[in-house]
Amino acid sequence: MRVSPSIEEIGARAKAAARVIGGLSPAIKSALLESMADHVDAARAQILAANSADMELADAEGISGALLDRLRLTEARIDAIVAGLGKVAGLADPVGVVTKGWRMDNGVDVKRVRVPLGVVAVIYEARPNVTADAAGLCVKAGNAVLLRGSSYALRSNRAIGDALRAALVARDLPVDTVQVLDDTSREGATALMQATGWVDLLVPRGGQGLISAVAAEAKVPFVIDGAGNCHVYVDAAADLGKAEAITLNAKVQRPGVCNAAETLLVHRDVAAEFIPKVAAALRGEGVELRGDEAARALDGDMAPASNVDWATEFLDLVMAVKVVDGIGEAIEHIRRYGTGHTEVIVTEDLAAADAFVGGVDAAVTAVNVSSRFTDGEEFGYGAEIGISTQKLHVRGPMGLEALTCERYVLTGSGQVR
Amino acid sequence: MRVSPSIEEIGARAKAAARVIGGLSPAIKSALLESMADHVDAARAQILAANSADMELADAEGISGALLDRLRLTEARIDAIVAGLGKVAGLADPVGVVTKGWRMDNGVDVKRVRVPLGVVAVIYEARPNVTADAAGLCVKAGNAVLLRGSSYALRSNRAIGDALRAALVARDLPVDTVQVLDDTSREGATALMQATGWVDLLVPRGGQGLISAVAAEAKVPFVIDGAGNCHVYVDAAADLGKAEAITLNAKVQRPGVCNAAETLLVHRDVAAEFIPKVAAALRGEGVELRGDEAARALDGDMAPASNVDWATEFLDLVMAVKVVDGIGEAIEHIRRYGTGHTEVIVTEDLAAADAFVGGVDAAVTAVNVSSRFTDGEEFGYGAEIGISTQKLHVRGPMGLEALTCERYVLTGSGQVR
């Protein structure tokens, strides 16, 4: 049994590593990421063995199918991890970019420069691929990373972490740039959330329980990768063909993810035409529908929707349906129940689109586009560490830039005030 | 006696107002700010009378001279408030700016757009001018603002707030865009810090006690306008004339502000030449010096510096002086004692400048420039709501942009994944 070091010890090691990693050139970081990919590739036997042990224990504890599936690693999934690290290696380096620059009247040159944050901590669930994905992004952005995964995945995470660390050692770089935390207890997570001075950014990736714990307990800076209670609003001026395609895609293409749609809002003027058609299509894909009174009047097979349904991120083949009197009611509904993730309007009316975009407060508002495009890959960020549903620092898909900050450098020749 | 409404009531009013203010055009916001300036100008008799009452009470409570001076309003200070609002009126509007935009392969257009945060809360000390300055910046950036000042300034703040609100009423805009909070108790401040869902950004402007309270208790998003324990490092390759001018300016031009320098670090190679000269110049301006052993060996009149001195933001005509063996020791000292505000190197050696800028982690690093330039006005931001010493959201001088966030708008023609 390993003795877990204290969070201060872990933090101090990470800080020291971050100073070295933060100063590396883009070329050296790319080469390091490539090497990490190679080391994971070479360690696949050990990683798969560790994962088998995790799976056996989880199975013995009666863990459910969906969770087991997330926990499972296969040759193909390791291929994906290796490819992912290789892809991040090739992304444009965010560090050192001058985002703004000007000269003061007195001749002082001002640059606003992107720099690494320092130490990034990630708390996540039983998905071992996150160990490599998050580490790759954090390191590419010049940060050290603390990885606190689920106890169910501890062996898998350690095996992946060992491979990543071997790549650091092979290149004579600080091994503690990547640390997989042994302590997977609730207390350990709380200690990490409160490791003021050691953690520059905490990214919690998990369900509502984790998000609530972070909101209540965290003392370190964090970005909430929160719930996506996303809506599709079908306006009176919608092209109903597009509306049907978007609704179907947003609901069923991958129902278990945060950018899937949960509630369909339909303008009263098109409800009689649209709801029966879309309901049949959704049911054809296995979706269970829960409607308000007006929707049920048009489709007798819908179960009645409760206020709880409006507020629920189903993450499943379930959709709530509501008929609204107009765009104002749609906006009010979204303001009340939305989580600030992604909100969609389907309309051919420019004024309606503008009113929706102006009235809704979300990381992403989408006009005639499926909510499924709120995604780091789709945005061209190459990968994502999460999707921010808060307002400070960054909103929406978080790529490499979100793992940096901007500071100022002044250069002069003796200027004083 | 007014009955203080609950924080939920205040918050709900602010949220409702923010929706209207956030959607106004730049021209309407400019006109509103001009009108606020006019209303303050017209209400100067009431404001000065309220301030006299505040001053009398504070005086009776035995408040000290410096605090009394901050609290005092004069015709000239009201002129400055009026001019400040007029200046903010004319600043470029940050809202609606597209900070990035591209087209996905599938034809979806992506825009990253600057939008208001919503409701900004400011907790500040007994400086009534902050009431107008902060309100002006928040409103110009499209936000509603909650102003929680000191109990000593309550009458002055209310009088200024009444003038600002009269301008809103006159233009038929929501009066609760600006709210001066009646509850100036410690509990009231804590309630504001924990008004989750109502406050989108909290800016604490005050001393270490307030900052610590926010770090410990705040549940709403905040940006720390923290201490400035700023250093001037005089390198072996410094032009000692520039070094003396910069040290003097950074220390004495306005010692009570956060961008004043507190500690002088001098490279051993130039210490014998530089320290006696700069010490004489600083003493000529009334500065008390506290040195380490090596500095005192060169200047017998220095008091010995303790570890407490290295960590202290004197905000006064006091400076600590330390001789260092090289740039590495200077960086380590700053990493240990600095507060991430502004760090200055004086050198003619490009490699030394690069090493310093790369090694120091601060909102602003300055090469051959006084630390006093870390300032929203000097940066061309027109005004500032504070200077961020944290890494997330923004670092350094916070102008209008810091009171906004960026969200995405996708526009397509039916795209699905």
pLDDT at A58: 94
Set of chain A residues whose Cβ sits within 8 Å of the Cβ of B410: 364-367, 369, 373
Nearest CA in chain B to A353: B411
For residue A110, the chain B residue with the least C-alpha distance is B379
Q: Is B241 touching A (CB cutoff 8 A)?
A: yes
- By the CB < 8 Å criterion, does A407 face chain B? yes
Q: What is the dihedral of CA B85, B115, B227, A108, to 10 degrees?
A: -70
How far away is chain B from the Cα of A414, in angstroms, using its nearest Cα? 5
Interface of B with A in 180-209 (CB under 8 A): 196, 200-201
- Amino acid at residue number B89: A
Specify the residue for token string 């490699």: B351
- The Cα–Cα gap between A41 and A167 comes to 11
Distance from CA of A116 to the nearest CA of B (A): 10
Least confident piece of the model among A267-281, A356-370, B147-161, B198-212: B198-212
Q: Which of B398, B393, B373 is nearest to A109 (CA)?
A: B373
The pLDDT of residue A383: 82
Token pair for B104: 């996905």
The per-type count for chain B, helices as H runs and strands as E runs, is: 15, 16
- The answer to pTM > 0.90 is yes
Q: In the 8-state DSSP scheme, what is residue B300?
A: T
Average pLDDT over residues B100-122: 97
List pLDDT tens digits, range B318-342: 999 999 999 999 999 999 999 999 9
Query: What pLDDT does A2 receive?
Result: 56
* The CATH number, out of the four listed (3.40.605.10, 2.160.20.60, 3.10.129.10, 3.40.1390.20), of the domain defined by the range B7-225+397-411: 3.40.605.10
- Determine which helix (DSSP H) or strand (DSSP E) holds B354, and give its type and residue range: helix B350-359
Task: State residue A3's pLDDT score.
Answer: 62
B104 vs A380: CB contact, 8 Å cut-off?
A: yes
Task: List CB contacts (< 8 A) between A250 and chain B.
Answer: 416
Tokens of A94: 């965010």
Task: Report yes or no: B365 at the A interface, CB cutoff 8 Å.
Answer: yes
Chain B residues 90-109 within an 8 A CB cutoff of chain A: 102, 104, 108
ipTM reported for the complex, 2 dp: 0.95
**What residues in B contact A239, CB-CB < 8 Å?**
414
Helices (H), B171-287: 186-193, 208-217, 240-252, 268-284
Q: B379 and A110: CB-CB below 8 Å? A: yes
Q: Do B414 and A241 touch (CB under 8 A)?
A: yes
Give, in order, the Cα–Cα distances in Å from B99 to each of A99, A114, A414.
11, 16, 34
**A117–B417 C-beta distance less than 8 A:** no
**Contact map slice: A 266-325 vs B, CB within 8 A:** none
User: From the CB of residue B402, how many other CB atoms can be counted at a distance below 10 Å?
Assistant: 28
* Mutation target vs A (from B369, B372, B395; most A CBs, 10 A cutoff): B369
The reply to whether residue B201 touches residue A392, judged by beta carbons under 8 angstroms, is: yes
For residue A379, what is the nearest residue in chain B, using CA coordinates? B104
DSSP-based helix, strand, coil % in chain A, nearest 5: 45, 20, 35
Superfamily of domain A7-225+395-411: Aldehyde Dehydrogenase; Chain A, domain 1 (3.40.605.10)
CATH of region B230-373:
3.40.309.10
Are B412 and A245 inside 8 Å of each other by CB? no
Distance from CA of B110 to the nearest CA of A (A): 8
Task: Please report the pLDDT score of residue A382 as a whole number.
Answer: 85
> B246: which residues sit within 8 A by CB, 6+ positions away?
A414, A416, B232, B344, B346, B368, B369, B370
Distance (Å) from the C-alpha of residue A410 to the closest C-alpha of chain B? 4
Tokens 């609950």 belong to which residue? B6
CB atoms within 10 A of CB B355: 20
Residues of chain A falling short of pLDDT 50: 1
Tens of pLDDT along B346-370? Answer: 999 999 999 999 999 999 999 999 9
The verdict on a CB contact (< 8 Å) between B392 and A366 is no
pLDDT band (50, 70, 90) for residue B409: very high
Q: Tell me, what's the pLDDT at A226?
A: 84
Domain A230-377 = CATH 3.40.309.10:
yes
Neighbours of A23 (CB within 10 A): 15
**Shortest CB distance from A253 goes to which of B250, B379, B417?**
B417
Measured in degrees and rounded to the nearest 5, phi and psi for residue A412 equal -145, -160
3-state helix, strand, coil in chain B (%, to 5): 45, 20, 35
Interface of A with B in 112-171 (CB under 8 A): 115, 117-118
A410–B245 CB contact, under 8 Å: no
Contact A234, A265 (CB under 8 A): yes
Nearest residue on chain A to B344, judged by CA atoms?
A: A410
- Considering only CA atoms, which of B176, B180, B179 is closest in space to residue B20? B176
Q: What is the pLDDT of residue B323?
A: 98
pLDDT of residue B226: 84
Identify the CA nearest to B340 among candidates B358, B363, B319.
Answer: B363
* Lookup result for tokens 């390198």: B235
Cα–Cα distance measured from residue B392 to residue A391, given in angstroms and rounded to the nearest whole number: 11
Question: Which residues in chain A are closer than 8 Å to B392, comparing Cβ atoms?
Answer: 117, 201, 221, 223, 392-393, 405
> How far A128 CA lies from chain B's nearest CA (Å)?
26
Contacts of B19 in chain A (CB under 8 A): 359
Per residue in B225-263, pLDDT (tens digit) is 889 999 999 999 999 999 999 999 999 999 999 999 999
* Per-residue pLDDT at B145 exceeds 60: yes
Measured between CB atoms, which of B245, B366, B409 is closest to A410?
A: B366
Quickly state the pLDDT bin for B2 (edges 50, 70, 90).
Answer: low
Cβ distance of B368 and A416 shorter than 8 Å: no
Å between B19 CA and nearest CA of chain A: 8
Query: In this structure, what token pair is assigned to residue B409?
Result: 């708008």
Domain residue limits, chain B: 7-225+397-411, 230-373
* Rama region for B62: left / alpha / beta (φ>0; ψ in -120 to 50; rest): left
Residue B180's pLDDT is what?
98
B 23-82: CB under 8 A from A: 23
- Using the Cβ of B253 and the Cβ atoms of chain A, whether some distance falls under 8 Å is answered with yes
CB contact under 8 A, B117 and A379: no
Per-residue pLDDT at B199: 97
Given CB atoms, is B230 within the 8 Å cutoff of chain A? no
Q: Which residue of A has its CA nearest to B103?
A: A379
CA dist B148 and B106 (Å) reads: 49
Q: Do A118 and B363 touch (CB under 8 A)?
A: no
Which residues contact residue B87 at a Cβ distance below 8 angstroms, ignoring those fewer than 6 apart? B382, B383
User: Chain A partners of B395 at a C-beta cutoff of 8 Å?
Assistant: 405-408
- Residues of chain B found within 8 Å of residue A98, distances taken between Cβ atoms: none
Q: Does A257 touch chain B (CB under 8 A)?
A: no
Q: Coil, helix or strand for B141?
A: coil
Question: B278 to chain A: which residues are within 8 Å by CB?
Answer: none
The model's pLDDT over B287-298, given as tens digits with 9 standing for 90+, comes to: 999 999 999 999
CA distance A417 to chain B (A): 7
B7 close contact with A: CB closer than 8 A: no
